[in-house]
Structure 1
Amino acid sequence: MFSKACEYGIRAIIYIATESLENRRVKIGDVAENTGSPEAFTAKVLGLLTRHRIVHSLKGPYGGFEIGVARMKEVRLSDIVFAIDGDSIYRGCALGLSECNAAEPCPMHEKFVKVRSELKKMLENTTVHDLATKLQAGESILIR
């Protein structure tokens, strides 16, 4: 459903947030290792998320990535998805047709409209803090 970049971005932000809850900044290598994503790709995605002010980056020997608790509570999954993939997830056709609408629907259009609506609601109502605290409590995992 999400692009690989978006999947890696969401996992990276959750890991960074979990570490930030412990007042630790993390390096790109740590993020990649603990999320199962390629380091170069992780760096590119985190650069994008830094430019969108979703995560904060500090340079230097004591630098790394972090996100404050207040920011974690503000940032929603929809913000991350939009920063990386735009809004195509809310508009695209389930079958990948270039155009799909109620006037000229694909065979899955009506069912997919409902799925997209529920997905949008979930993404807009889930914060980074929600997911980081679940990971921190051992209720979820980021890597297998």
Structure 2
Amino acid sequence: MLSNACKYAIRSILYLAIHSDETHKIGVKKVAEEIETPQPFLAKLLQQLVTNKLVSSSKGPKGGFFLDKKNKEKSVWDIIKTIDGTDKFDQCFLGYLPVMMKTPDLHIDLYLLLKINFNDFRDKTIASLVEEIKENGTVISLKGFNN
């Protein structure tokens, strides 16, 4: 449902949220290696995220990408809106109207499931997501993530 670009953006932001701050910036090469993403593609994505104030960056010998407090208050939904847009979320999930008419229960069940998940995307900040990961001792393996 999400594009590869959007998945890479989410993964890179989570990586930066866990491993960077204003005093410890990370270069695109390191992020690309860690999340196994093509570096040129990730560089363009990170610039788009910087332009939209989802990621911060600084230039120079000690420069790189990082998340500040304002960045961490953004939600996963903000990332999705920036990279993929929201058009596909405003349409029938099943793709066409006749399915809804033939199987309205299925359509409603899927709609409710998606609505719950999208509310999580909208309501959960990057900071709260990272905090949950740390509290639960959950390890996010960013390598090999292709769902």
> Could you say what the CA RMSD is over the residues aligned between the two structures, in angstroms?
2.5
The number of residues matched between the two structures is 140
State the 1:19 CA deviation: 1.6
State the 1:5 CA deviation: 0.7
TM-score relative to the length of structure 2: 0.80
Q: Structure 2 CA distance, aligned partners of 1:46 and 1:110?
A: 36
Aligned to 1:130: 128
CA distance 1:135–1:21, shift in 2 (3 Å): farther
State the 1:38 CA deviation: 1.4
CA distance 1:101–1:16, shift in 2 (3 Å): farther
State the 1:115 CA deviation: 2.1
Output aligned runs, 1:82-121, within 5 Å. Answer: 82-97=81-96, 100=97, 105=101, 107=103, 108-121=106-119
Q: Secondary structure at the match of 2:65?
A: strand
Aligned to 2:45: 45
Q: Does 2:28 correspond to 1:13?
A: no
The one-letter amino acid of 1:24's match is: H
Q: Structure 2 CA distance, aligned partners of 1:7 and 1:24?
A: 24
The one-letter amino acid of 1:123's match is: F
The one-letter amino acid of 1:128's match is: I
The answer to whether the 8 Å contact 2:53/2:71 transfers is: no
The answer to whether the 8 Å contact 2:29/2:39 transfers is: yes
Aligned to 2:76: 77
State the 1:96 CA deviation: 3.4
Q: Structure 1 CA distance, aligned partners of 2:131 and 2:48?
A: 24
The one-letter amino acid of 1:121's match is: N
Aligned to 2:64: 64
Structure 1 unaligned residues grouped into runs of 5+: none
CA distance 1:87–1:61, shift in 2 (3 Å): same
State the 1:27 CA deviation: 0.6
Identity of aligned residues (%): 31
TM-score relative to the length of structure 1: 0.82
Runs of 4+ in structure 1 deviating by more than 3 angstroms, as ranges, are 104-108, 133-138
Q: Structure 1 CA distance, aligned partners of 2:22 and 2:45?
A: 23
Q: Secondary structure at the match of 1:26?
A: coil
State the 1:90 CA deviation: 2.2
The answer to whether the 8 Å contact 1:134/1:140 transfers is: no
